[in-house]
Amino acid sequence: MKKTAFLFPGQGSQSIGMGLDFHQEYDFVREIFDMAEEITHINLSKLCFKGPMEDLIMTVNLQPAVTAVNLACLAAIEKEDLKADFCAGHSLGEYSALCSAGVISKEDTVKLVFKRGELMHRESTKYKGAMHAVVGLPIEDVEALVAEVQKDGVISVANHNAEKQIVITGAPDSVNRVSSLAAEKGAKSIPLKVSGAWHSELIRRAQDEFRNFLEGFSFNSPDSAIVFNVTADNENNPDEIKSIMERQLCSPVKWYDSMKKLIEENVEVFVEIGPGRVLTGLLKKILPGDYQGNVYNVSNMKQLEKFLNENK
């Protein structure tokens, strides 16, 4: 098999019906949902397959729901004895990447994302936050605007998703001000439908508490390389991986740099494993026009069959 990277989506990729055909097809997928529902005491299969969307998108529900679908799609691939050379996940999706690389079990993956969702939801009810996507400016320009406004309020870069697609996060007034300044420089600013200021200082207390929760889990050395959000680089030491995952809550997601790292490693096959096409869309903006690589989605049976037919 060609040099392959598995990519796992996070919040924002959800849709009603996600994971349904895998759930209908495979006993082991039903077992994954049963396990996740036993841990969370949430009817995740009903939320994923029937909604309603307003309940699904609540962070405390959404994090284990998307993760269950990611793990279901991954299990369908692993049934064919396919493994990745590299893994990466976007924010929440990084926990699925840890599972794919053998760092944590499926059960611990669900336990961690469920606690993460609970803590983030709690902080979002205490501190009103906002997130906007700024499109059309390079990261250096957005960082300069953030630094200018940071003196008066909480504001930071949440995600560097593509070369000129950057998400800012923080207090609503500060986010609006940076958006206005970016618009003056010719950028487009798009408010995101989120319930909190993820990857900002407004959820710092969640990160501090999550650090203590993480201590109760054993991490293994990865059996495939993981490119991490916080560093846009690999790490093999389990203790350092645990530290990275704790810092991830308030640190920027360096997705653009992570994908550039995979390009430098000459990855030939990129597979988005889980609901939606968010990461595929970003990757097609990042890959050079002459890059010799193929991009796949695996979120349903039809897509799985296409991927397998072309890569086995």
CA dist 147 → 114, 144, 150, 214 (Å): 33, 5, 5, 31
8 Å CB contact between 217 and 112: yes
Catalytic residues: 91, 199
pLDDT mean over 246-254? 97
128-191 maps to which CATH number? Answer: 3.30.70.250
| CA–CA distance, 198 with 157 (Å, rounded to integer) | 10
Homologous superfamily of the 4-125+201-311 domain (CATH): Malonyl-Coenzyme A Acyl Carrier Protein, domain 2 (3.40.366.10)
**DSSP tag of 253:** B
Could you read off the pLDDT of 266-302 as tens digits, one per residue?
999 999 999 999 999 999 999 999 999 999 999 999 9
| CA–CA distance, 111 with 245 (Å, rounded to integer) | 14
Give the pTM. Answer: 0.97
| CA–CA distance, 275 with 293 (Å, rounded to integer) | 21
| CA–CA distance, 9 with 89 (Å, rounded to integer) | 6
Quick one: pLDDT at residue 312?
79
89's tokens: 């996940």
Is it true that 4-125+201-311 and 128-191 share their CATH fold?
no
Could you read off the pLDDT of 107-122 as tens digits, one per residue?
999 999 999 999 999 9
The full set of domain ranges for the chain reads 4-125+201-311, 128-191
8 Å CB contact between 47 and 55: yes
The residue type found at 90 is H
Could you read off the pLDDT of 74-120 as tens digits, one per residue?
999 999 999 999 999 999 999 999 999 999 999 999 999 999 999 99
**DSSP tag of 224:** S
